[in-house]
Structures are given as structure tokens and as C-alpha cells.
Structure 1
Amino acid sequence: MSAPYTAGRGRSRESQDLITMEHHYRVDIFNAAIDSQLQELNSRFNEQPTEVLIISSTLDPKDAYKSFKIEDICNLVEKFYPQDFSEEEKIHLRFQLQHYELDILQHPDFQNISTISELCQRLSATGKSAIYYLIDRLIRLVLTLPVSTATTKRAFSAMKLVKTRLRNMMEDEFLAECLVFYIEKEIAKSFSTDMIIDEFYSMKSRRAQLKYKDLGLLFCFLLSVSIKVG
């Protein structure tokens, strides 16, 4: 790795920079790739989601609950989950955390746990979730955070595909229904023709029953909408 690095064959040795192989692979390739990844991550995640993830790591049981901090957990509830806890529950949460620190962190059944999901399962299996119900609620909120974020991102991504330039005048109600149909396409595939027809009839009473030809046209219309949305 200490040998000189030669870049290309068409340049003379005197015109090339005198750098070693280690410098080339460490600085020009490795560090450049890391800087590129960091710039992409910084552009995708703003300060608020990053702060949520950092503070939520205080609940991580890895390394014998090394990152556990009562003050950070209380700040997590105060800043990001104020609607999920009443003012009285926020006060009780601090006392539960103090007992939790003396009980769970030293309990033999809660050792050698590496993820928050395992901690949540162990609390439920041992019945400790009923004792530390506020902490259990907070853990479940933290675990559902990636799911709620992914659902929002999927909705915006679907909107770009559904509401194109040609469909710019689409009404909000029809757009919302198309987005649900697109996002939940796996569920929509289970709908049969008879189910769609029965649902159409149950929407309101009609003076005359539709003919099979009309039902076929209705099904073709629904099928065309699903093809355009999908």
C-alpha cells in the first residue's frame, strides 16, 4: 500500500501526483464515498426525525441498558408525543421510570436483550407491561414510528403517479379513493366482480335492476380505473 499510485497510461510519470496506493483508496475512494452517502442522508432527513431517533435510542436495551436516561425519555414524550400522554400521566411517567430503572435494568429476565421490539415482547410476556403501562405505551409508539412514516411517504409517492398533468383537475374525494386503491393494491386484487356489483347495489335502492350488459360496462369501467391507477 505504500507503493506509488499510477493513474492511467497516457501521462508521463513526472506529470502525475506523487501519492501512494493507500492514499488513493483511503482518501480518493473510501472517504469520497462516505461523504457522498452522508450528504444524501442529510438531504433526506431533517433535524426533527433525526432528533426523534437519537432520543428514542435511550429506550434501547442493548449493552445492558447503557443509553437509558430518564430525562431524555421524558423529553421525548414532551416534545414528540404530547397528545398521547396527559399532564398527569407525564408526571407519573417519571416515577415509573425511576422504578423501571431499579427493577427492569437488574431483572434477570430482561438481560441479554438487543432490540426494543424484544423488550416490548418481554414486558408483555412477564406481565410487566401492566405495571409500567406508560413506558409500554411509549415503546409501542416508538416501534410504530417507521410504519407511520413509511405510510406517509407511500401516499406522496402514489400521488405523483396518480395525479398526473392530465388528471390535474381531479377532485379531492376521487383522488383520495384512487390513492387508497393504489396503495392497497394487494387487498384490491381480492375483490371479485360479484363483490363490486353487490356493493354497487347496496349503495342505494334503485327503481330497476341493471342489465348484464350494463353490469359489464360498469365492471369494464372499474377495471380501466384500476389499470390506470396501478
Structure 2
Amino acid sequence: MLHFMLKVLVITKELDIVLQKKDQEIVNAMKLVGTTKRQFQMMRDGEWKHLMDDVSSFCVKHDILIPKMDDLYVLPRRLKCKVSTVTYSHHLRVEVFDATIDSQLQELDRCFDTVNNDLLLGIASLSPVNSFANYDKDKIMRLAKYYPNEFGDNKFQELSSKLDDYIVYMRQSDNRFSNLKGLGDLFKALVETKLDLTWPLVYLLLKLTLILLDAGPSVERSFSWVRNIKNEMCKKFNEEFFSDCLVCYAKNDVFESVPDAATINQFHSRTLAENN
């Protein structure tokens, strides 16, 4: 099912790239989460036949044996002690195709739940990139609510008031804040200009946000969710085979120059060696 694995990796590629940029691209990442989920659902609902047609055409072209879909699925060698009770069709469609897509949808829901969405969007709203283009006071205040010990009722109201002055100053009054590249730069600039003393609550929230980005398991899980693809899919596929596929995907510029015939010959050679 190499064709299927590549389709899954292609769907997740853009989201993974954006998430690696962390606070710089959080807003775009949150939009891509919805897009990625829709792509997975569309694949599950309507692309099975197209995928099997592609695989069948590839196998016919390269003289690779295609099992009969109505035959009982032959278990891997290490599981021969168990008796298969499902057909190839059921195994490939239900136990591999549907199950893998479902696991990815569940992982997206788990990593980008309401709490994580609030945290991520709050972080994005603090970002100074493009003259604080993503600033959203409501989202910043929602972020502050997750720190009740630091922002009690009085300080919460004070933060709300100070944010209005803060954003006007940042956008209009000081060029030193106009070309910052991330939250780390903003934190450093506030200290260097001693404006951390002018807006101590904003500075505190920014500091807590940087700690969250560095050590928070929920946010870190959101940023690195795509790693779980390998963990889930390896339950369905041979570990070594999957690792080989990931190498091909990551180094696609190199492997595009490798002729199909060379790949097929290598595959047949390994198959013969294993059988002997």
C-alpha cells in the first residue's frame, strides 16, 4: 500500500511544514487543520476505488502479482499461528485504509481540541510578526483565563485595559517593534526597552506563553502531531518497509531520478532472498 501511504503523507505535508514554524504561522496552521481533516474525509468517502485502480495499473505494468480480493487474507509470516477470517478486500479497505484514516482524524481531534485551539490562537494573537497582524484581544484574554493563579479577577480586568494601550504603542509609536520575527524577539525587545515595566501583565503573559511553547505537552503535541502518523501506520505495515517509504518521501528529489525498473529489480531480489 505504498500508494496509500504516500497519499497520507502528501495530505499532512503542508500542515506539518507550517506547524514547524510555531508562533509564526499558527493562524495558517489552524486553518490547515480543517483543510486536512476534510481531505482525509474525502479520501475515506470517495477515493478507495481510484486508489485500487492506481495500484492495479502499477502492478499490471510491472508484472506484480495481484491477490484476488475475495480470497482469504494471508497473514504475515510472524502471525501464521493465527487463522485469517477476512478477505483481502475487507483487510485492505477496512483494517488498513479506513482504520488508518480514522486514526489520523482522531489524532487531529485530540491534538486540536478546544483547549489547544484557545492556547494556539492566543499565542498567535501575541505574535509581533508583520506589525502584530494577528493581534486579537479576545483570543489573548481567553489565553489568560488558563492562568487563574497569575490573572485573578482584578489582574484580569487590568490586563484587558492595558492591552488597548499596549497594541497602539506597538503599532504606531516605536519602530523597534515593527520588524520582529517572533515571540522570542518581542520578549527580548520589551526587556531591552524596559517596557516590561510599563506593561508587566502583558510581559508576564508573554513569558508564560514562551514557557508553554517550550515545555507545554499539549501545545507541543499539537506542533508535532504528524509524528503520530508513523506510530499508527506502523501497526498496519512492516516497520522496515514503512521506514524505506519515509526515506523515499523525504528525499523525493533524489528518488525521482531512480528508474522504476531498478526499484522493481531490487524488490524482486529482496523477495527471493527472503523466500530462500
TM-score, L = length of structure 1: 0.48
Larger radius of gyration: 1
TM-score, L = length of structure 2: 0.40
| Larger RCO of the pair (alpha carbons < 8 Å, separation 6+) | 2
